[in-house]
């Protein structure tokens, strides 16, 4: 076996010439880093409040779906979908309830997430 180079740091992963470790699969719709960060920030706040407990992320050829569960054994209470085919029409982002009702659709993720993002309001 060969030994790692002197400048190798185990926390950084193995040095390669192949490029980044995670390469998006061509032909699949994914959430980018900003979108996923925004969704996970909302998810983290709701978990801290005790409202949500689990999530799932699915990447399909035509859309990406972030499903939110109250319990892992149930159907998702919300689905946040990104469908680029609708980007020029109604907006690529939508929030869908457990019954299949589209709660909000739009071009900007932040505005679409406002329908489920309950913030503390000062009265």
Per-residue DSSP letters for the chain? -PPPPTT--GGG----SS--S--PPTT-----HHHHHHHHHHHHHHHHHTS--EEEEEE-SS-EEEEEESSTTS--SEEEEE-GGGTTTT-SEEEEETTS-EEEEES-HHHHHTTT-------
Mean pLDDT on 33-54: 91
50-79 pLDDT, tens digit each: 888 999 999 999 999 999 998 777 789 999
Mean pLDDT, the chain, integer: 80
81-100 pLDDT, tens digit each: 999 998 899 899 999 999 99
Number of domains in the chain: 1
Residue 1 located in a structural domain: no
Residue 19 located in a structural domain: no
Residues spanned by the domain of 90: 33-113
Mean pLDDT on 27-34: 87
| pTM for this predicted structure | 0.72
């Amino acid at each position: 076996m060969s030994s790692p180079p002197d400048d190798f740091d185990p926390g950084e992963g193995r040095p390669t010439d192949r490029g980044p470790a995670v390469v998006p699969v061509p032909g699949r719709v994914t959430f980018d880093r900003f979108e996923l960060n925004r969704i996970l920030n909302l998810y983290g706040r709701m978990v801290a409040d005790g409202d949500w407990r689990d999530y799932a992320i699915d990447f399909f050829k035509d859309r990406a779906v972030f499903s939110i569960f109250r319990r892992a054994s149930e159907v998702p209470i919300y689905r946040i979908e990104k469908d680029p085919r609708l980007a020029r029409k109604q907006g690529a982002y939508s929030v869908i309830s457990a019954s299949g009702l589209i709660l909000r659709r739009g071009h900007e993720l932040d505005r679409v997430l406002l329908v489920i993002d309950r913030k503390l309001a000062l009265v």
